[in-house]
Structure 1
Amino acid sequence: MEDELTDYTNRFRTAFETAHRRLAHVVIAEIDSELTPRHLFMLAMISKEQSPKQSQLAEKLGVKPSAITVMIDRLVQSGHVIRKHHETDRRIVLVENTPKGNEILAEATEIQKKVIARGLSQLPPDELHIFVNAFEKFTSFY
């Protein structure tokens, strides 16, 4: 039984990582942007955290603050993100999506939904039901 679970674990990881990578590349190709999948993920994190500190982003992503700084620098240069000082403590620097950043994030989200729908539409209705229910159940464990 343990060997079978190991096999399923490996198959799931491979399929999940492949799907995630392919979806990200299709979305990037369809939005016609200079951004990378990692840039889009960073815009999504910034939006979700609502004006986080760079150190917060680094902690959430499990990377060193210097890695976040480089990515934020690129997003600032491209006009997708701004840095601003905290209202009461000027030592704290926050990051925020610009309207351009929010626009590209919204476009990417809509394209992602369409791309996922295209893939899901290839499954017969009974398999689609099983797939989505099983995936929802799986994610509920975390």
Structure 2
Amino acid sequence: MDEEKIKAFIHRYEEVYFFAAKRVTAIVTEKVLEDITIEQYQILRYITMYPNCQATMLADMCGVNKSAISAMIERLVQKGLVERIRDEKDRRNVFLESTEKGRVVYEKGEQQIQKYVSGYLTELSEGEIDTFLTVFEKISASMAEKERGNEQ
């Protein structure tokens, strides 16, 4: 594929992605987040979906260093949304779980996101949705693979 065509595709992708991400962020912020940022909500979402995860897993998932993720976790702990649980066999291991309050915030967020996004998905066929997600997953996997290659 020639360079100009790639440049045009990237431009289209950026416009679509940034618009969609901005809208989802706005709806979550407006309808759900009372006292947390979108980044904190994403961390809370991951912790709720994957109980007993650890800070290093979150740092990898978010692509940030452990100290940055630790600061975000601390804010969620202070707000009563997340709790740290020490492994009784090895106190160095700390697992993260959402609290009841955190699960309520997560559920409210998920409901609002589904309500908002489903209104647009109904305009697409199942095949179009599947194709879109397959391509997006392929791009994501390719990016993750290249990042792993750069770390070595």
Partner of 1:20 in structure 2? Answer: 21
Answer yes or no: is the 8 Å Cα contact 2:121–2:129 preserved in 1.
Answer: no
TM-score by length of 1: 0.84
Note if 1:137 corresponds to 2:134: yes
Indicate conservation of the 8 Å contact 1:85/1:94, yes or no.
yes
Cα offset for 1:40? Answer: 0.9
Give the structure 2 partner of residue 62 of structure 1: 63
Distance 1:48 1:32 in 2: 18
Gap change, CA 1:119 and 1:45, over 3 Å in 2: same
Write the mapping of 1:32-71 to structure 2, written as runs, cut at 5 A. 33-71=34-72
CA distance in 1 between counterparts of 2:118 and 2:8 reads: 28
Give the match for residue 93 of structure 1: 94
Gaps of 5+ in 2: 142-152
CA distance in 2, matches of 1:77, 1:112: 25
Give me the whole-angstrom Cα distance separating, in 2, the residues matched to 1:140 and 1:23. 19
In structure 2, the residue matched to 1:82 is 83
Q: Partner residue of 1:5? A: 6
Moved more, 49-58 or 65-74: 49-58
Kindly, what percent of the aligned residue pairs are identical?
27
Q: 1:133 to 1:82 in 2, by over 3 A?
A: closer
Hey, what's the Cα distance between the residues in 2 that align with 1:140 and 1:54? 24
Structure 1 residues 93-102 or 11-20, which shifts more? 11-20
- Number of residue pairs the alignment of both structures matches: 137
Normalised by the size of structure 2, how large is the TM-score?
A: 0.79
